[in-house]
Amino acid sequence: MTGAARAVLGGWLVACALLAGCGGTDEEPPPAPSTAFAQALETVGGGGEGASLGVGWVDGQAARTTRGRDLEQALAPNASSVVEQAAALRRRFGFDPLAAHTLVSIGGSYAFGLRLDGVRAGRLPRALIAAGGRVKPAGDGGRLLDIGGYASVPSPLLELGIRGLGARDAFSADGVVLAISGRARESLLGGGGRLIEQPQYVAAADCLGDVVAARLVPAKLLQSTELGVDLIAAALRRDAAEEVLCVMAGDAARADTAAAALEHGFALRARDPVTGRQIGEDLASVRVKRLTYGEVEAVRVELERRPSSPSGFVLRDIANGALARYLVAAAPQSEDRSLSPSD
């Protein structure tokens, strides 16, 4: 973890110590990759055995240069509204979400909370207090703020078009949390056991590699239909034309089935089940590979977009349900090719 990441995590954990039931573990987490995304996962709680929590992440530099739609789909609905209304928040409160060096959301099909590291809240806490917010200290000069009931959006944020978030917040000298509930706030402050301690999350971070925006979603939070896999991760790589999709499955047989289904669904001559466009109109190449990370069986799909294709292909496939359709479809059996785990 970089020095900046340690400082952010340390500050948030001071705040977390004042929350009831922060939990955590004294055990060292398993080895994790040293990518920026993996470092962000190290700061997110809500883990423990059987952890099932989605995470969105955007590098701050990318947030200032990447297409807005990509940011929205990486962070998920609710959190995306904070980015959409960044200019209005800056004008009204002096709080600029796009000045953050990292944006982290948690949730499933929508965000339960958003954390912005390296940014000041400006006049926002004062406005929330004036609207009825109740404040308690959170150590190191930070504050926890509760306003309204679960999932309510306080009027200062609602007036600017913020959706879902703001009932349970946290403010420090270099960070802001806007959350739907106390539990979501706790997770964003690092409480409850870190997600990176769970093998599937380590595997997902390793599988994605060096990326600038990512979204992880437990399959059961993505679709009501059984998808046959456990965790799905999609990301934009630093090379603007490259994107990656990773699927974590419970065993080798399920991973083989997922690999075959994805190879079929992303074939350049196949058609997108939502848009009807031929895959090759948007993608120049697709590589599907089976991987094994210790006890976790995985599939990685690496995609290169055509110059004319807008970025965020894999993020859109999660958001619009196309990926779910690939996974539930019966994969054709290949007579001339078998998929086997490889490093």
Band (pLDDT 50/70/90 cuts) for residue 68 is low
Write a three-state SS string for the chain: CCHHHHHHHHHHHHHHCCCCCCCCCCCCCCCCCCCHHHHHHCCCCCCCCCCCCEEEEEEHHHHHHCCHHHHHHHHCCCHHHHHHCHHHHHHHHCCCHHHCCEEEEEECCCEEEEEEECCCCCCHHHHHHHCCCEEEECCCCCEEEECCCCCCCCHHHHCCCCCCCCCEEEEECCEEEEECCHHHHHHHCCCCCCHHHCHHHHHHHHHHCCEEEEEEEEHHHHCCCCCCCCEEEEEEECCCCEEEEEEEECCHHHHHHHHHHHHHHCCCCCECCCCCCEHHHHEEEEEEEEEEECCEEEEEEEEEECCCCCCCHHHHHHHCCHHHHHHHCCCCCCCCCCCCCCC
Of 103, 70, 37, 38, nearest in space to 318 by CA? 70
Q: Residue 219's CB: how many other CB atoms inside 10 A?
A: 21
The token duo for 149 is 């009931």
pLDDT of residue 256: 93
pLDDT of residue 177: 98
Question: Per residue in 109-146, pLDDT tens?
Answer: 899 999 999 999 999 999 999 999 999 998 767 899 99
Residue 53 has pLDDT above 80, yes or no: yes
Question: Per residue in 149-186, pLDDT tens?
Answer: 999 999 999 999 999 999 999 999 989 999 999 999 99
The values of phi and psi at residue 300, to 5°, are -115, 135
Q: State the chain's mean pLDDT as an integer.
A: 84
Domain boundaries, the chain: 3-188, 199-328
CATH number of the 199-328 domain? 3.30.1360
Report how far Cα 291 is from the mean position of its chain's Cα atoms.
Answer: 22
pLDDT of residue 13: 45
pLDDT of residue 193: 84
Question: Per residue in 185-231, pLDDT tens?
Answer: 999 999 888 888 899 999 999 999 999 999 999 887 766 566 778 89
Question: Per residue in 220-234, pLDDT tens?
Answer: 776 656 677 889 999
Q: Residue 4's CB: how many other CB atoms inside 10 A?
A: 14
254-257, Cβ contacts within 8 angstroms, sequence gap of 24 or more: 254/228, 254/229, 254/297, 255/229, 255/290, 255/297, 255/298, 255/299, 255/341, 256/290, 256/339, 257/228, 257/331
The values of phi and psi at residue 190, to 5°, are 95, 10
Least confident piece of the model among 4-18, 38-52, 132-146, 284-298: 4-18
This prediction's pTM:
0.85
